[in-house]
Structure 1
Amino acid sequence: MTLDDLLAVPYEEDGRSQHGADCYGLTRLARVHLFGKPWMPAYGEVSGSDKKALTNAVRQEAANFYESRPHAGAIAAAWRGNLCTHIAIVVEVDGKPMILETNEPGGADHGPRLVGLRPFEQRFLRVVYYDD
C-alpha cells in the first residue's frame, strides 16, 4: 500500500481498514504500510466522536512510545485542553514533512489529505509527536 493508496481510502467513522478508515484507522494503516511498524491495537470500540474514550486510548498507547520531533513515521496527536481530539501521521513528500490525515471527528468532511505541519499545528492548542 502506497501513499497514493492511503489517500484514496474513503473516510468511514470508526473505520479501521483500507475499505474505510477514520483518523486513527488511517494512521494505523500508514504506520504499517509506509513505515513497516507494528500494528497498534484496533480500538474498534472507541469512537472518534467520544473524545474521552479517544483520550484514554491515546494515553494508554503513549506508554509504549516516546515524545519526538515531527519526522516521517511519527504520530501526531492533537490536543484541545486535556482531550485528544485528532490523530494523524507525519509522512515525507518531496523531502518535506507533511501530515497525512483524514476527517477530524466532528470536523470538515474532506477525506484523506496532506497538510503542512504548521497549518496542522495551528488548528490545535497543542500537537504532540510520538514514535516507537
Structure 2
Amino acid sequence: MGVAVKDARPGAKGLDCTFIVVEKDSVSSTKEGEQVIVWRVADPTGSILLSTFGEAGAAVKEADILRLKNGYCTRYRDQAVVYIGRGTLERVGEFTMMYSLEPDMSKLPPEPTAASV
C-alpha cells in the first residue's frame, strides 16, 4: 500500500499511496488554460486533497481506486495537497475500498505571519 494518507505531510516526496476518490472538491484553470481538478481522496487512515492537471484529472472519476507512485505533498493556501508531479497515477479498481474522511489531513494550522511572531 505504501504511505498511508495520515502520514502525508507538506514536504513529503516520493509518495506511494493507494486511495479512493471520494468527491470533486474544485475545478479551475491555469493561466495557460489547462484544467486543474482537486479531489478529496481517502484511505482507511484519513483523507486529503489531490490536485490533478489536464488529461490526468479528466480521466479521474468519483469511486475510482487510484495508485499514486512518486507523488509529493505541499502546502497550498493553508491546506496540505498531494500532487502527481513527475510520478504516475493509475486506476486500479473502483468502489470496493474501506476509507475514512477523518482525520482530514489537508487541514493545516495557518502559517505564522510576521505580525504574529
Same fold (TM over 0.5): no
Q: Using CA pairs below 8 Å that are at least 6 residues apart, which structure has the higher relative contact order? A: 2
TM-score by length of 1: 0.25
TM-score by length of 2: 0.27
The structure whose residues are more often helix, as a share, is: 1
Of the two, which has the highest radius of gyration?
2
